[in-house]
Amino acid sequence: MTTATAQPPRTRITNEKHAPDNRAMKKIWMLENLIFHARTGEEERAAAERMLDRAIATAQEKGQLTTKQDGGDGTWHGYRLPDIRYGARYEEVKRLSTTEIARRIRADIKLARKVEEKLGTATGAEVALTDSLTALATMPKQIKVSVRTDYFSGGSAIRVNVYNLPKKGWGYVQETDMWGQPRWVPGPELSAILAALEEIHGAYNFDGSDAMVDYFHVNYYGQVEVDWRERP
């Protein structure tokens, strides 16, 4: 008599509140929602399980679901969920809303810009500041930084925009891309400013995403961008 081997319980790879844009992964997301719904009947769940296995195989054949052999915790049908990377200050805000986190980001930026005033004439050549946010302290005063929140069905975002650069093209330098074509990119001074803002923006976040399979798992979305429009 042959004894059937017990199959390990399924675990989710998709976020139940965020539908993937990828068509194949969206089908997997819909089937998972059906399988894990408390009111789904036994026969309907079994049918969805079989459909899910076929959907997974199809996604793998098309290269839309990466197969890895790592195994262990976090493995879902041959796919290992990515490790979650936590920002340096995530623990402080893990129970706060995106609006409250954005308020902290604004305060951090404002404080960083005051460093130069606090140090006076000693800032720059005479004092070696080890904090990477020094770029914000020495940033031209006319440059403005806005921090906006955005809520949508799949989560929320904090968007940081840099306005009022001293002149058009300020901070950009020309370089040649891999095809020998010229392009404009942020130079050292602007790059330092953007990097400092990205550090503040990411300090309260976590990221366990894998773009290869359209799987996104973050505390909030958003980015740091230059906006050429002028603001009062």
What percent of the chain stands above pLDDT 70?
Answer: 72
Domain boundaries, the chain: 23-80, 85-226
79 band by pLDDT with thresholds 50, 70 and 90: low
Give the model's pLDDT for residue 227.
Answer: 87
Give the model's pLDDT for residue 147.
Answer: 97
The average pLDDT across 196-218 equals: 83
When comparing pLDDT for 169 and 88, which is higher?
88
Give the model's pLDDT for residue 116.
Answer: 57
> What is the DSSP secondary-structure string of the chain?
-PPPPPPPPP---S-TTS--SSHHHHHHHHHHHHHT-TT--HHHHHHHHHHHHHHHHHHHHTTSS------STTEETTEEPPPPEE-TTHHHHTTS-HHHHHHHHHHHHHHHHTHHHHHGGGBBTTB---STTHHHHSS-TT-EEEEEEEEETTEEEEEEEEE--SSTTTTEEEEE-TTS-EEEEE-HHHHHHHHHHHHHHHHT-EE--BGGGTB--BS-B--EEE--S---
116-120, 177-181, 223-227, range with the lowest pLDDT: 116-120
Using one digit for the tens of pLDDT, what is the confidence trace for 121-152? 444 434 344 455 678 888 888 899 999 999 99
86-100, 133-147, 150-164, range with the lowest pLDDT: 133-147
What percent of the chain stands above pLDDT 90?
Answer: 21
160 band by pLDDT with thresholds 50, 70 and 90: very high
Give the model's pLDDT for residue 132.
Answer: 55
Give the model's pLDDT for residue 81.
Answer: 60
**In terms of pTM, does the model score above 0.85?**
no
Give the model's pLDDT for residue 138.
Answer: 83
28-32, 72-76, 188-192, range with the lowest pLDDT: 72-76
User: Is residue 88 pLDDT above 80, yes or no?
Assistant: yes
The average pLDDT across 53-58 equals: 72
16 band by pLDDT with thresholds 50, 70 and 90: confident
Q: Cα(46)–Cα(50) distance, rounded to whole angstroms? A: 6
Using one digit for the tens of pLDDT, what is the confidence trace for 21-45? 666 677 777 778 888 888 887 777 7
